[in-house]
Amino acid sequence: METPVQEPKPPKPKIKGVKPAPLEVLDRVKMNNTLETPRSTIKGVLQVPKQAEMSFSRENLRKVEDQLKRAFVEFYQKLRLLKSYSFLNTLAFSKIMKKYDKITSRSASRSYMKMVDNSNLGSSDDITKLMERVEATFIKHFSNANRTKGMNILRPKAKRDRHRVTFSTGFLAGCMASLLLALIMIVRLRRIMDSRGRTIYMETMFPLYSLFGFIVLHMLMYAIDIFYWRKYRVNYAFIFGFKPGTELGYREVLLLSFGLGTLALAAVLCNLDMEMDPKTKDYKAFTELLPLLLVLVLLIILFLPFKILYRTNRFFFLTCLFHSICAPLYKVTLPDFFLADQLTSQVQAIRSLEFYVCYYGWGDFKHRENKCRDSNVFATFYFIVAVLPYMARLLQCLRRLFEERDPVQGYNGLKYFLTIVAVCLRTAYYVNTGIGWRVIVGIVSAIAAIFCTYWDFVYDWGLLNRQSKNPWLRDKLLVPHKYIYFGAMGLNVVLRFAWLQTVLNFKFDLHRETLATLVASLEIIRRGVWNFFRLENEHLNNVGKYRAFKSVPLPFNYDEDDDKDD
């Protein structure tokens, strides 16, 4: 028995105004190939034609999925803010009407609130429905239908302060203070600095251990910045682009800084004890390896792939550091150039790393001899490492000038170019002193310092506005006391010109390495003060321009020409 053959149904005509089917939508989607990698950046500079389609490799699909995931999260945050805005307006109207009834002894609030409830503001549930659609889509495609997991990503819980972090911070702070006091007493009582090995120690071990002092001081200043950012409600987590709930508070930063300081001071005391103990005095080579072992421990912790010791923050730091080193091959973001600015205040620490390579690489540690100063290679790299952070910032400014066509970035790049010249001249004067060098270094350094100081006040901090409501400051201030701003400007000028001691040759009863360390520490303190007002100005700009969320670029374009033709 033959079954009747069904005739194919004719295709349904396309109805005007009806959205195309999901498969038809894919025909209008074109993948982006944005300038986000060094390779694509070089192609963009060389004007290589862009590819409209991307090869769908596993890596590309992973990146596309990550972009879509972040876009969904940001869009959901926008909807939450919009819903909160609607609720706050309704609540404010209700409170205003209650206040009005109380003052005028009338009962008009009920009728007015009824009008508000019946209006689109009070009765519309479009936002709620859209949020439910976003939740359903996100849970289905990005969390394997696990609602709890998906909602934890869309609505991250507020970070809570843990008591064990506070306890550990206090414990390590006490340990660090005790070790520092013990070190001072040992140096004073045993007159270590008066011994014949003082000069050798100051030229070898002191530069090695001073690296950790620079890092700890910078972390302490960053912790103080975070404390005051939170106090004055500066949204530093949003500005830096941290994932919600992963940003470090000032307690966590203090914990890390005190922990590193405790390890460094313990290593210094062990080093001194092993040298003074007759039983271990013969093992000089091993005692010299303590700073290197501490650096290796620090690097292992920094690159540790396990989900411990704030892995998200460590990888975020390494990513920004890599982008700064590879400038201008990556698109410049605020965390990248902010970190590069921090590195410009850590020139002495970078020189300490150079000394590590020379001291241990050439085997000077076996005899505690500093032959690095006599090496032409070391002297050459002594110049190079001093300008690397400023060169990174200069290249970042040129990248932004190329992309944004903003002349301000060109002037900012000129500032870093002048600083590079000044640093090179000061380094040359540090190696070869002379009257001619002193005059040239003084003039060029003064010009660069004045330019940088003006830029700090006007562009980075947004101050020195004569027509402002707050004379010589700006219209909006987060710190209620105006003298804080004037004091910060004065302190910035004083610390900015700390380099004068290298030119004017002030007579101090200090070793050259000690004096260089003190000047470098003053620069780190100046950078810590600069950080607070820089982010305060950025926060006020975001508030003034209503920036409450990030704009996440999508990995595709949607062609709507057909819809327009219809």
Does the pLDDT at position 12 exceed 80?
no
Evaluate if residue 558 carries a pLDDT over 70: no
Tell me, what's the pLDDT at 110?
83
Q: How far apart are CA 177 and CA 179, in angstroms?
A: 6
> In 246-370, which ranges are continuous DSSP H helix?
250-276, 284-288, 290-302, 311-325, 334-344, 347-361
In tens, the pLDDT along 499-547 reads 777 666 666 667 778 888 999 999 999 999 999 999 999 999 988 877 7
Amino acid 345: pLDDT:
95
Place of tokens 């271990």: 280
CB 147 within 8 A of CB 139: yes
Chain CA centroid to CA 399, Å: 18
Pairing mode, if any, of strands 556-558 and 29-31?
antiparallel
If phi over 0 gives left and psi between -120 and 50 gives alpha, with beta otherwise, what is residue 310? left
How many Å apart are CA 541 and CA 543, to the nearest integer?
5
Task: Look at residue 553 in the predicted model and tell me its pLDDT.
Answer: 66
User: Of the given ranges (96-110, 214-228, 323-337, 460-474), which has the lowest mean pLDDT?
Assistant: 96-110
- Residue 279: pLDDT above 60? yes
- Average pLDDT of span 117-143: 88
The residue with tokens 């660090």 is 176
Residue in 139, 72, 54 with CA at minimum distance from that of residue 557:
54
Encode pLDDT of 299-331 as tens digits: 999 999 998 899 999 999 999 999 999 989 999
Please tell me the distance from the alpha carbon of residue 62 to that of residue 71, in angstroms, as a whole number. Answer: 14
In this prediction, residue 512 carries a pLDDT of: 79
| pLDDT the model gives residue 105 | 82
- Using CA atoms, how far apart are residues 150 and 138, in angstroms rounded to an integer? 7
Tokens standing for residue 395: 């290249």
Mean per-residue pLDDT of the chain: 84
Q: Which amino acid is at 502?
A: T
Tokens at residue 529, please?
A: 């003060």
Q: What is the mean pLDDT of residues 428-453?
A: 85
Q: How confident is the model at residue 101 (pLDDT cuts 50, 70, 90)?
A: confident
The domains of the chain are located at 62-156, 163-544
Q: For the chain, give me the number of helices (H) and strands (E)?
A: 23, 2
* Tens digits of residue pLDDT in 183-200: 988 888 777 666 666 677
pLDDT tens figures, 376-392? 888 888 889 999 999 99
Residues 122/116, Cβ–Cβ less than 8 Å: yes
Q: Please tell me the distance from the alpha carbon of residue 473 to that of residue 452, in angstroms, as a whole number.
A: 18
pLDDT at 349: 95
Look up residue 273 and give its DSSP letter.
H
Q: What is the pLDDT of residue 14?
A: 44
Q: Report which of 333, 339, 343, 467 is spatially closest to residue 403, judged by C-alpha positions.
A: 333
User: Percent of the chain beyond pLDDT 90?
Assistant: 45
pLDDT in tens, 17-29: 445 455 565 566 6
Phi/psi region, residue 309 (left: phi>0; alpha: psi -120 to 50; beta: rest), is left
Give the mean model confidence (pLDDT) for residues 357-369: 83
pLDDT of residue 5: 45
For residue 498, the 8-state DSSP code is: G
CA distance 492 to 526: 6
pLDDT at 3: 46
- Whether 426 contacts 441, CB under 8 Å: yes
Look at residue 13 in the predicted model and tell me its pLDDT.
43
Distance CA 473, CA 482 (A): 8
Q: Is the pLDDT of residue 248 over 90?
A: yes
| CA contacts within 13 A on the Cβ side of 342 | 20
List Cβ<8 Å contacts ≥24 apart for 274-281: 276/190
Per-residue pLDDT, averaged over 130-148, amounts to: 90
CA–CA dist 512, 524 (Å, integer)? 19
Q: How many CA atoms lie within 13 Å of 325's alpha carbon, on the beta-carbon side? A: 7
Mark 495-507 as b/e (b = at least 16 C-beta within 10 Å): bbebbeebbeeee
* pLDDT reading at 52 higher than 60: no
pLDDT, position 441: 86
Rounded Cα–Cα distance for residues 364 and 215 (Å):
25
Assess contact for 533 and 461: CB atoms under 8 A. yes
| Residues 360, 356: Cα–Cα separation, whole Å | 6
C-alpha to C-alpha distance for 321 and 160, rounded to whole angstroms: 28
Rounded CA gap, 90 and 105, in Å? 22
Name, in order, each residue with C-beta under 8 angstroms of 30's C-beta and a sequence gap of 6 or more.
52, 53, 556, 557, 559
What's the average model confidence in pLDDT over 38-42? 70
Q: Which residues contact 375 (CB under 8 A, 6 or more apart)?
A: 358, 362
